[in-house]
Amino acid sequence: MGSSPSPLAYRLVLGQSLRTYRERVGLDANTVADKLGWYSRKVDLVETGQRKLVATEVDRLVELYELSAAEPRYVQGLAREARKRDTATPPVAEWAQTYVAVEVAAQELKVFHEELLPGFVQTGEYARALLSQGILQPERGVEDAVERRMARQEHFIGPDAPHVTLILGEGAVRREVGGRNVLLEQLKFLRTFAELPHVPLRVLPFSAGAHTALGNSFSLLYVGDPVVTFAYAETFIDGQWYDRQQHTEKYAIAFDQAHRTSIAERETLTFLDRLIEEGGK
């Protein structure tokens, strides 16, 4: 997992792993609850990261799911970290806390944004212009929210930064959020950010036409070893979290389609250079 994952992140990864093992042996949640003497919803709460497990409960699941080789040690390690007390709450809206917790733990992200730049590549002025227009104003004020967004950015440029494949719709790099000058400085920053070896950037041009992800923005997060996949889609009022394979696979297909029809990395840098030159005139 990535740098300094929180207990919440461990609970989510543990829950997803346990669901995979349960489905592998062909057991439904009700059967597991019956065999272990649990109340009916406990399996679902565990698998969605809402319920901690004590060591004896983990041992019984290991036996029931017929785990072998390194799997028991892996699950027990996740459960041990998941039982620790959360020492800090991510400084974001409550509905975004799950995403931030897993974002820190992820070793890889795939991010698609159609019309706006994601927070981790925003300049302060861009973020300020965007946050000041929100229907739901940040609880501690716009300036505090901007500072916290800038602080989160450090995670993506440090030594333990995850690999991030970023695809932006052409509208995202042309929309004058905050005005022409703010956009120009934002494009310069984005151009520098895209030089990082772990952040391949592509632009999906208007000429690509219709595609599966049209009108949407989402992230795929890959955590742990073996890898567990999550998907997250955000609107202007909340975010939707997906941890079931039938959902994450659809988001992965949509991302792959956008990747195939987007401009290659080197061509994207040239495209940004042209926009910067045009904006500076």
Contacts of 87 by beta carbon, 8 Å cutoff, 6+ apart: none
pTM of the model: 0.85
Q: What is the pLDDT of residue 139?
A: 59
Q: b vs e for 25-44, b when ≥16 Cβ sit within 10 Å of the residue's Cβ? A: eebebeebbeeeebeeebbe
Q: What distances in angstroms separate CA 76 from CA 48, 71, 81, 181, one per listed residue?
A: 17, 9, 9, 53
| Per-residue pLDDT, 97 | 78
Residue 136 pLDDT: 58
* pLDDT tens figures, 222-254: 998 888 999 999 887 788 999 999 999 999 999
- pLDDT exceeds 80 at position 77: yes
Measure the CA–CA gap between 113 and 213, rounded to whole angstroms.
9
pLDDT tens, position by position, 19-69: 999 999 999 999 999 999 999 899 999 999 999 999 999 999 999 999 998
186 has a pLDDT exceeding 80: yes
pLDDT of residue 62: 96
First to last CA, the chain: 45
For residue 207, the 8-state DSSP code is G
pLDDT exceeds 60 at position 183: yes
Helices within 162-241 (DSSP H only):
170-174, 180-193
For residue 129, what pLDDT is reported?
93
State yes or no: pLDDT of 94 exceeds 70.
no
The CATH architecture assigned to 96-279 reads 2-Layer Sandwich (3.30)
| CA separation for the pair 233, 223 (Å, rounded) | 17
Domain chopping of the chain, boundaries = 7-82, 96-279
> Would you tell me which CATH number, out of the four given (3.40.50.720, 3.40.50.10440, 1.10.260.40, 2.40.50.140), belongs to the domain 7-82?
1.10.260.40
Q: Has residue 90 got a pLDDT over 60?
A: no
Q: pLDDT at position 272, please?
A: 97
Among residues 123, 148, 115, 109, which one has the least CA distance to residue 248?
A: 109
**pLDDT given for residue 100 in this prediction:** 84
Residue 218 has pLDDT above 70, yes or no: yes
